[in-house]
Amino acid sequence: MGWQSRTRTLQVFDTELTADTVEWCPIPQWAHVLACGTYQQLLEGDDKHSTEESAAPRRIGRLYLFDCNPQPSFIPPLTETQRTETAAILDLKWCHVPISERPLLGMATASGEIQLYKLIEAQQGSSGLECELCTDLGPDRLALSLDWSTGRGESDVRVVSSDSTGSITLLSLGEADLTTVCQWKAHEYEAWISAFSYWDTQTVYSGGDDSKLKGWDLRMGSSSPTFTSKRHTMGVCSIHSNPHREHILATGSYDENVLLWDGRNMKQPLSETPVGGGVWRLKWHPSQEHLLLAACMHNDFQILHCQKAMEGQETPCQVLGSYILHNSLAYGADWSRLPVSSSAPPSPQDPPQTSSGLVESTGHLRIQYESPTASFDTSLEDDSGRYIPDQCPLPEKSSVPDLFTSDAWDSVSCLMATCSFYDHMMHVWRWDWSPEEKHEAL
């Protein structure tokens, strides 16, 4: 059977400051909520409040909140509901379970703080965020990442964070505070990433600019790691535990490789997949255990299928699709849990089909400015008024037609959000993967 993959842009948003993290709320009732964080280091002369005596650079950020309606229409799916000026944001993560019946968003900042924001109902039924708790990790450091222990519904809610001094901090969430449980020096240089094993939340992983991947058993203390891997050849900057398959771990590095691991044997990875760019973020799909989304810095966003590697076949993960429309460093990426229709969004007029079944397109992307705040959305139309995403040519038949064997893989349609750094852009797009005959029937 031949398979076809298609990505279609739904909306583009100018974040004005450089964008580096984007996160959909994972709680079903609030799955329509999207957060985006930005990071901007002010250059000399940009900051009116700076003085010649101040040596430290000033880093500012902005937290955006959006509501999303993905139903097929000609109206952009995102509505901005709030923007908050903050310290520069290095990472955002939603707690996977509600706290006091509300979603909670964690934020790692350049001021060395972990800040927690509660989602509230704002005016006219829209959503808003208000700061609930804040903890300082220590002086002279940037908080670089955070992860929640709740990836599989853990009731003992904790946060792990990494920072620019190479330290890891474990925090416990109480009824009215976020308390530091322990903090230890884990890496020689920046600790770019830290993450829980969602299957055993007493296990924490960390990666640093010293090119080392380490594991820590919190029951044994933090004096020494349970393992140290030098399998990556450059800084380790992304780690994500698979919430659907026990022991499976994905890691990424500036060395442009995604490694898949079995946590019971960290001497040798299950697979190594070159993706052509430093891997800043990795995200497992919310429900499909074999799908992995990678933000590959200089090589866009890649969707990997990891089934064969997870089964121990020692083969690189297959790249199923790529999103290539960002023009800068691919940093933030996340899957939405919102359902999307399996059919294509409607077009103003049906485009002609070629003999090969591909869609013919001769138009170009036209930008339609809509926001009075200088943010803009794309109209995604060509000169004939046709909807650009529906005209994107489909790729040739997949060279690996045996990837999906069950009925569950008859087709996959996903909504995604990604952001890129220097061009300060956030994109919302959908990815469709389906058998060739299904595309012919549409």
Query: Residue ranges per domain, the chain?
Result: 3-44+58-441
Tell which wins on pLDDT, 49 or 394: 49
Which pLDDT score, from 0 to 100, does residue 44 have? 58
Write the CB contacts of 82 (distance below 8 Å, at least 6 apart in sequence).
Answer: 63, 64, 65, 122, 127, 128, 129
Cβ proximity of 442 and 403 under 8 Å: no
Spell out a b/e string for 289-300, using b for 16 or more CB atoms within 10 Å of the CB, else e. Answer: ebbbbbbbbebb
Q: What is the mean pLDDT of residues 338-367?
A: 40
CA distance 332 to 295: 6
Q: Phi, psi (5° rounding) for residue 434?
A: -155, 160
Phi and psi, residue 123, nearest 5°? -70, 145
Taking residue 230's Cβ as centre, other Cβ atoms within 10 Å add up to 10
Q: Does domain 3-44+58-441 have CATH number 3.30.70.3400?
A: no
Per-residue model confidence (pLDDT) at position 379? 36
Sequence-distant (≥ 6) Cβ neighbours of residue 150 within 8 angstroms: 95, 96, 97, 157
Token pair listed for 110: 């350049």
At residue 97, the pLDDT reads 97
Helix (H) or strand (E) segment spanning residue 440: helix 436-441
- 165 φ/ψ angles, rounded to the nearest 5 degrees: -90, 0
Residues 22, 36: contact at Cβ < 8 Å?
yes
CA distances from 389 to 11, 310, 325, 348, 365 (A): 10, 33, 12, 12, 10
- At residue 32, the 3 state secondary structure works out as coil
Residue 54 has a pLDDT of 52
**Mean pLDDT score of the chain:** 84
Q: Give me the sheet containing 257-262, strands edge to edge.
A: 236-241, 248-253, 257-262, 271-274
| pLDDT for residue 229 | 98
Q: Could you tell me the pLDDT band of residue 175, with boundaries at 50, 70 and 90?
A: confident
Select the more confidently predicted residue: 261 or 42: 261
Burial 245-282, CB ≥16 within 10 A → b, else e:
eebbbbbbbbbbbbbbbbbeebeebbbbbebebbbbbb
375 CA to centre of own chain? 22
Place of tokens 């944001």: 89
Per-residue tokens: 11 = 């909306």
- Please tell me which of 3-7, 327-331, 361-365 the model is most confident about, judged by mean pLDDT: 327-331
Predicted pLDDT of residue 81 = 96
Global pTM reads 0.84
Please state the rounded mean pLDDT for residues 249-255: 98
Using CA atoms, how far residue 410 sits from 227, 280, 319, 356, 407, in Å, is 40, 31, 18, 21, 5
pLDDT digits (tens, 9 = 90+) for 312-324: 898 999 999 999 9
pLDDT at res. 371: 28
R_g of the chain, CA atoms, integer Å: 22
Give dist(CA 80, CA 232) in Å, integer.
39
Identify the weakest region by mean pLDDT among 137-146, 296-305, 347-356, 421-430. 347-356
Distances (CA, A) of 157 to 92, 114, 426: 16, 15, 30
Q: What is the pLDDT of residue 284?
A: 98
